[in-house]
Amino acid sequence: MKIAVVDDDPNELNTLKEYFKHLHMEIRDEMDVHCYASGKEFICTYDYSFDLICLDINMPEMNGISTAQYIRSRDEEVIIIFVTNMAQMAIKGYEVRALDFLVKPVNYYSFAMKMRSVINIINNKKSKSFIITTSNGIQKISTNELYFAEINGHYLYYHTSGGTFKQKSTLKELEGKLKGLSFKRCNNCYLVNLKYVESINKDDVKVGGEWLKISRPKKKEFLQSLGNYMGGAKL
């Protein structure tokens, strides 16, 4: 994942860079960390490729709030974490949909706890493509287009934004392919892309315009996974 750390204090930049290096050694996720000495420097080179931005609030010329407003006007998806010695200022982060904040001086325990949660969210939003063999030939499917998969008899039905495709396979085999992505079973017949969950109504979940049943044994784990994907929302 690609990470930006923006802070006018070189000591703080170095501390967070070392923290990310230490966290990488613990969890083994690849992290490409880029450091910037000001908000102005960062936005001049911003290319929409970042997964996470750690942003100091109190900076000269262009403070963290202004920098975040610029970013949000162009990028709705990137995760923003504010780093500040003024905790009361972090409240302004909600205006730019910042996910969380770290208070200076940042200690490693607090950093690691919050970043593990952030990294989990980022990983859940990753996508991949795979090839299936249908009766009509070969079909490439991207997880970004897959609403849910349904097992019926010996056949797996892929419900996508481009239509429904049928392949002789199992739901367990598909789960193996999609391990680590934002997919979860709501019952034994459906594997749901959490990205496309529109609403929950008691024991039903609406995905891609269709209502699917949530089984009692799967309900707690499914709702917990959905909450984690949405960034800790209580469901």
Q: Residue 191, Cβ neighbours under 10 Å: how many?
A: 22
Out of 107, 124, 141, pick the residue that ends a domain. Answer: 124
142 and 184, same domain (yes or no): yes
Per-residue pLDDT of the chain (235 residues; tens, 9 = 90+): 899 999 999 999 999 999 999 999 998 888 999 999 999 999 998 888 889 999 999 999 899 999 999 999 988 889 999 998 876 666 677 778 899 899 999 999 999 999 999 988 887 677 788 899 988 899 999 898 999 999 999 999 999 999 999 999 999 999 988 887 889 999 999 999 998 999 999 999 999 999 999 999 999 999 988 887 775 444 4
Q: Are residues 27 and 136 in the same domain?
A: no
Q: What's 32's domain CATH number?
A: 3.40.50.2300
Rounded to 5 degrees, what are φ and ψ at 2?
A: -100, 125
3-state DSSP assignment of residue 215: coil
Global pTM? 0.59
Judge if 96 and 193 occupy the same domain.
Answer: no
Domain tally, the chain: 2
Residue 164 is assigned to a structural domain of this protein: yes
Is residue 234 situated within a structural domain? no
